[in-house]
Amino acid sequence: MKKKKKWIWIVSSIAILLIIINFAAAYFFYHLAIERNVKDFLSGNQDLEVSAETLDVLLDGDWRNWSDEQNYENWNITSHDGLNLEGYFLRAKEPSNKVVIMAHGYLGKGKDMALYGEHYVEELGYHMLTPDMRGHGQSDGDYIGFGWHDRLDMMDWIDQVIDRFGEDVEIVLHGVSMGASTMLMTSGEDLPSNVKAIVADCPYTSVADLFDYQIDRMYNLPSFPFIPSTSLVTQMFAGYTFDEASALDQVQKTEIPIYYVHGEEDQFVPTEMTEKLYEKTSSPKELLLVDSAGHGEAFVKNEDMYIEKLNRFLNKYLDK
């Protein structure tokens, strides 16, 4: 009898120890990826390496000089949970009823999207609104929403554009990486008819899918039990779970046309995720896969094709 109790005590102790280790690891991953702080873990990540050509454009391209010369207006909103969110609005050179709202990637900031916004403003004659997403730039927030809570913020930005420009304004949503998934998560909500099209460049299907992929690739760890536990910690501290933060679920509900772009050599967010999103999208859709492009490189690697197909797509769904 004593021996049996001893084994029960040993097994129980081991189980408790494993639970403690699991949740310690979960908090570590929450702090690593979700909590707002310096993200050194991405330094040297081979999956984020880009060509010398792309790096030159991203760091010192003419678009940065163009952006620095613009007279941005500061816009702001208060989110549903009381955060002050900052945005930067650039007026078109001529009167226009078209606005592109941009969404940047993980650890980015609003004005990074001037890489794409320059074309909208200078060539297409759009106004541009490019917010700092929650937990980024000058916006409040002590966690990163990976698109889920950001979709509600995006709806508030859309409402502000309509309030300022009137009921005949036409809106395009354009996002890259996390910003692309944000726009796709937004797509499944009850949006006003002013939102005419979405451009999603290298999105992920869901936060759960992304983290499943990354924990294996970066740490050689299994998804279970670490991802479910980290999701639980995220629900406790940030108010959302990885499974509910699903672009894949949202695009099956939308009627808004979506233009997908992805680099065929993307190892950070695998190309298959966009292909799956494209397959499941219920609205009119188009897909551009760019040869030899890694994560977020499609525009730089083949700007002419990117712009040509983008223009053709927008012309289908917006008034000329």
Q: In what order do the strands lie in the sheet with 170-176?
A: 73-78, 84-90, 127-131, 98-103, 170-176, 195-201, 258-263, 285-290
pLDDT at 14: 58
Peptide bond into 225 cis (omega under 30): yes
User: Residue 39 has which token pair?
Assistant: 């993200």
Portion of the chain with pLDDT greater than 90, in percent: 81
| Beta-strand pair 98-103/84-90 | unpaired
Q: Could you state, in order of their start, the residue ranges of all structural domains in the chain?
A: 50-206+245-317
pLDDT at 5: 63
Are the beta carbons of 136 and 85 closer than 8 angstroms? Answer: no
- What is the DSSP track for 61-121? -HHHHHHHTS-PEEEEEE-TTS-EEEEEEE--SS--SEEEEEE--TT--GGGGHHHHHHHH
Fill in the DSSP letter of residue 33.
Answer: I
Are the beta carbons of 227 and 215 closer than 8 angstroms? Answer: yes
Model pLDDT for residues 110-144, shown as the tens digit of each residue: 999 999 999 999 999 999 999 999 999 999 999 99
Span 50-206+245-317: which CATH code? 3.40.50.1820
